[in-house]
Structure 1
Amino acid sequence: MLADSSNENTVLWSLTAPPAPTVEIISENLSFDVVIVGAGLTGLRAAVSLAEAGTSVAVIDAQRIGYGSSGRSGGQCNPIWRATPDDLATEFGNTQAERLIQATLTSADDLFDDIRRLNIDCGAEQNGWFQAAHTRRQAASLKKLASAWRKVGAEIEDVGSTGTQAGVGSPAYEFSLLHAKGGFVQPLALTRGYAGAALANGARLFEQAPATAMERKNGKWHVVTPGGILTAEQVILATNAYTDTLWPGLRQTILPMVSISLATEPLNAEQQASVLPGRVTVSDSRLAIYFARYDSDNRLVFGCVGSTDSVKTFGGPGRLRKGLRTVFPQIADIGIECSWAGRIGVTPTMKPHLHEPAKGVLAGLGFSGRGIAMTSVMGRALARKVLGASNSDMPFPVTAIKPMALHGVSKAFVPLMAPTLSTLDQASVVLDRGLGRLSKEKDRT
């Protein structure tokens, strides 16, 4: 049992990650080649590449390393989009889509190769990911998705009822896709590992250093913090769902939706044999998605969509418990050690944005539930762009900032999304069962 972990909003990862590296507090004006705002997975992965290339780089964070999404996510590496390759071609054009498709196909292996190369202790396991359908309609949709991605080289297996229930250890699903490249990490440990690698290559990291203003003077950017001004040729904005008003309009390009999670007490050997055997991960096709994976100490981490930064809002603990009972009824009464919430940066198209709003400024954000794999892709891409790569070499299209229409109204309704989506999910299950009964009666007649 974790010490002092009974309270809600206690993040498991902060209790089990290796110690954070020693960082600095800004107390004077400093100059660098690149300043990165946001010490999460994206910003720190970019810092690793830049520092390895010999670039003078500083990473600053308003809070601490991994405070935001990177220290609060489920930590699952789910290396495929909800869109098909043809959908990507329609959205981006054939050439850009091909770059994104290739980056997607290699994203998981690239991440786990990174972890090994940098010798990061983050409980990384690449045992596969079950993408499960919660209704027959969603099963049909997933079959089409898998077929489309297999045509471009993805390793995806259609798994029927028996294989799904055995592989996931759940009676809740009768069809799934098994993605061989999927896996999981301890996300805060990965973030701290990137931080250590960046420091080892000469980067400087500063915590408790909110960027309060940016101004271009004499050909350089001046990033203002309470402790001093940082001057740089290039600035990378990597604040994702915790983006504020530092750059006009950037916050309005995403919705800060919320994921909530719980961690059970460690499962014994018998329980592990029936819940996610093989230490795979699972996420399903609900609008208010359920997901689950193990941690290194055999706790089950189970999550769903939440409402605010507090797990309690609009019955969050109840949704988590109900979801756990639905998916894994065999451990319905297991003890819960902690639960927490974190924001997810969601874009209208459910794919990340790479912006270049001004000369010497880049922003990468909006990973929409694919952050473990895609922050690694984005971080490396941002670094390559700073080092001189052209837009035509980027896995994501490089665009100007375009705020969402009615962003303020949409953001105000975010807390209501979790209960609303959960209600719609319940209705879809009831409808699916009713259609199933009608189909059986029709077959008998």
Structure 2
Amino acid sequence: MQERNKSMDERARIPVSLPRDNPTQSYWQDPPDAIADLRTTDELPEFADVVIIGSGITGAAVAWHLLQNEPVDAAPGVERRTAKKIVMLEARQACSGATGRNGGHTKAASYRSFSEHATSLGTPAAVKIAQLELANIQAVHAFAQAHNIDCDLNPCDTIDIIYDKSHWDHAQKTVAEMREAMPEGDPAAQYTFHTPDQVREQFHCHDSIYEGNLERVYGGVSYVAGSLSGYKLGIGVLKLCLAKGLNFQTNTPAVALRQTQPSEPHSSWEVDTPRGTITAKQVVLATNGYTAHLVPRLQGVIMPFRGQITAQRPGSAMPHSGSLPTTYSFIYEKGYEYMIPRPAGLRFAGDIVIGGGLLRLPDDGLQEYGTTDDTTLNEAVSAYLRETTPRYFGPDWGEDDPAGRVRKEWTGIMGTSVDERPLVGEMLGEEGLWMSCSFQGHGMVLCWMCAKALVDMMEGRDGDELEGWFPDAFRVTEERLSLRFSGRST
């Protein structure tokens, strides 16, 4: 009880650790890929032009964009090399953090944050953020298709089932504001509203009873989204980078950073690991919720928090044998769940992957903030998520599978900032230390384009073109680094 009653600022002061050993195994990582424990070279290199810390989608995307202008082909008999020496460090197995643990939702839901962004940042900034989120989804889908990455990609629509009148009213108001603010026909403002009858008939969702209280369906909002395996996507991008000369070192945590000759205009960085020290001209932190472990200044600026997901076998009455044509979110007064049905033709087709439930916990899930422990499950979240599917689908769920409702459940660590926006750019006053972190559990629709923007900054292309599409609100600034968590989670 004492732990639950701690306030948000107290949770933010809990020292951030390295990723834990022996984490829960996610659905997507079973079995691990062949490169899970890869070390490109037996010995840790002593020098690199760039060290990337973290091998999730951010680290992989940064490596890919850095390698784009590098030579690929070599003369017969000559080892293929890159002009830049890029080394990636991963504390555990390849892509073993949030990217390999999320639900695989490429879904922006920009209408849910547009009004808040417009109020705090201005309407042009809100428009830019919404357009970037859609562009990120399109870029990820296109990249996977163009490079034949087998990542269970399923471009499709999504539906938000809304169980709260204030959220329903807000959705209609915000979509109208987006259409007014954006150019006519802008795909980032394309949403379709559905009546309660349409929700029941087309999307098979019903009124819900939670703790004796009726949560009535007010309507639904559908729009373009998709699903994929973040683990397979991340591994696929890493393999492309390895073919271009990336040196990848798994099970090699970065434990400390030191800037050499910080007063000099061209200082370098020493990255300590249990296997030795590597010196680099530039370091990229692709460490999301774990970032403050390496940069103490970010303690209380980027806070880790834990999410939990279950993969459930479909009920006997589920339409399409569970392989529903859309992804889902279920939005209620204080929170939401998100759900990804496994498409037909894939392994475990029809399985229902569902996560969330944080704000149904005592103290609004406060105890899940400030932790880096993905080795265990929260039994209260487990119990809640297990009963969501028959509650939302009602008679369309049917009887549980004879093998049991839950196939697998796991946890993962995300990162959140005080203003709930990513931090992208160079660490102020520390030349050569770059970061793209803090995605609030929204990384699959932010990480790719944030990584692209970061590489543009690193390579001196931080001009009008980047300003045209990348939000200033995502950049690292002194003002943002001075923000601190306070009060309770909401």
TM-score interval for Structure 1 and Structure 2 normalised by the shorter chain: 0.7 to 0.9
Distance 1:257 1:283, change over 3 A: farther
Name the amino acid aligned to 1:31.
Answer: F
Partner of 2:426: 356
Name the amino acid aligned to 2:64.
Answer: V
CA contact (8 A) 2:55 2:94 kept: yes
Name the amino acid aligned to 1:300.
Answer: I
Question: Are residue 249 (structure 1) and residue 297 (structure 2) matched?
Answer: yes
Q: CA deviation at 1:311?
A: 5.7
Q: CA deviation at 1:66?
A: 1.5
1:238-263 Cα offsets, whole Å, 9 max, x none, are: 11123342112224223322221111
Partner of 2:59: 43
TM-score by length of 1: 0.82
CA contact (8 A) 1:356 1:400 kept: no
Partner of 2:476: 399
TM-score by length of 2: 0.75
Whole-angstrom CA distance in 2 between matches of 1:43 and 1:132 = 34
CA contact (8 A) 1:311 1:317 kept: no
Distance 1:20 1:285, change over 3 A: farther
Whole-angstrom CA distance in 1 between matches of 2:155 and 2:65 = 23
Partner of 2:218: 174
Whole-angstrom CA distance in 2 between matches of 1:95 and 1:302 = 34
Whole-angstrom CA distance in 2 between matches of 1:227 and 1:305 = 40
Partner of 1:12: 27
1:392-439 Cα offsets, whole Å, 9 max, x none, are: 6251332236457664x77xx7xxx6xxx7xxxxxxxxxxxxxxxxxx
**Which runs of no fewer than 5 residues in structure 1 stay unpaired?**
1-7, 422-445
Partner of 2:173: 144
Distance 1:105 1:186, change over 3 A: closer
Whole-angstrom CA distance in 2 between matches of 1:253 and 1:26 = 36
Distance 1:391 1:132, change over 3 A: farther
Whole-angstrom CA distance in 2 between matches of 1:405 and 1:332 = 49
Partner of 1:234: 282
Partner of 1:165: 200
Partner of 2:391: 326
CA contact (8 A) 2:314 2:321 kept: no
Whole-angstrom CA distance in 2 between matches of 1:183 and 1:27 = 40
Q: CA deviation at 1:178?
A: 0.6
CA contact (8 A) 1:164 1:174 kept: no
Distance 1:255 1:175, change over 3 A: farther
CA contact (8 A) 2:134 2:445 kept: no
Name the amino acid aligned to 1:176.
Answer: G
Question: Are residue 130 (structure 1) and residue 159 (structure 2) matched?
Answer: yes
Question: Are residue 290 (structure 1) and residue 310 (structure 2) matched?
Answer: no
Name the amino acid aligned to 1:333.
Answer: D
Distance 1:312 1:64, change over 3 A: closer
Distance 1:56 1:102, change over 3 A: farther
CA contact (8 A) 1:146 1:177 kept: no
Partner of 2:378: 313
SS in 2 for 1:399: coil
Identity of aligned residues (%): 20
Q: CA deviation at 1:185?
A: 0.8
SS in 2 for 1:210: coil
Q: CA deviation at 1:197?
A: 1.4
Partner of 1:115: 144
Q: Which moved more, 1:56-65 or 1:276-285?
A: 276-285
Whole-angstrom CA distance in 1 between matches of 2:308 and 2:374 = 9
Name the amino acid aligned to 1:228.
Answer: G
Partner of 1:365: 437
Question: Are residue 67 (structure 1) and residue 67 (structure 2) matched?
Answer: no
Whole-angstrom CA distance in 2 between matches of 1:346 and 1:90 = 20
CA contact (8 A) 1:72 1:341 kept: yes
Question: Are residue 340 (structure 1) and residue 410 (structure 2) matched?
Answer: yes
After TM superposition, the runs of 4+ consecutive aligned structure 1 residues lying more than 6 A away are none
Question: Are residue 273 (structure 1) and residue 310 (structure 2) matched?
Answer: no
Question: Are residue 32 (structure 1) and residue 48 (structure 2) matched?
Answer: yes
Q: CA deviation at 1:381?
A: 1.4
* RMSD, matched Cα: 2.8
Q: CA deviation at 1:80?
A: 3.7
Name the amino acid aligned to 2:289.
Answer: A
Whole-angstrom CA distance in 1 between matches of 2:312 and 2:113 = 35
SS in 2 for 1:302: strand
Q: CA deviation at 1:73?
A: 0.9
Partner of 1:427: none
Whole-angstrom CA distance in 2 between matches of 1:167 and 1:9 = 36
Whole-angstrom CA distance in 2 between matches of 1:235 and 1:365 = 13
CA contact (8 A) 1:310 1:341 kept: yes
**Which runs of no fewer than 5 residues in structure 2 stay unpaired?**
1-22, 71-83, 208-216, 262-266, 359-367
Whole-angstrom CA distance in 2 between matches of 1:121 and 1:260 = 25
Q: Which moved more, 1:285-294 or 1:193-202?
A: 285-294
Larger helix percent: 1
CA contact (8 A) 1:35 1:236 kept: yes
Partner of 1:258: 306
Whole-angstrom CA distance in 2 between matches of 1:37 and 1:283 = 35
Q: Which moved more, 1:397-406 or 1:373-382?
A: 397-406
CA contact (8 A) 1:238 1:364 kept: yes
Name the amino acid aligned to 2:160.
Answer: Q
Question: Are residue 56 (structure 1) and residue 56 (structure 2) matched?
Answer: no
CA contact (8 A) 1:161 1:174 kept: yes
Partner of 1:224: 272
CA contact (8 A) 1:162 1:174 kept: no
Name the amino acid aligned to 1:166.
Answer: E
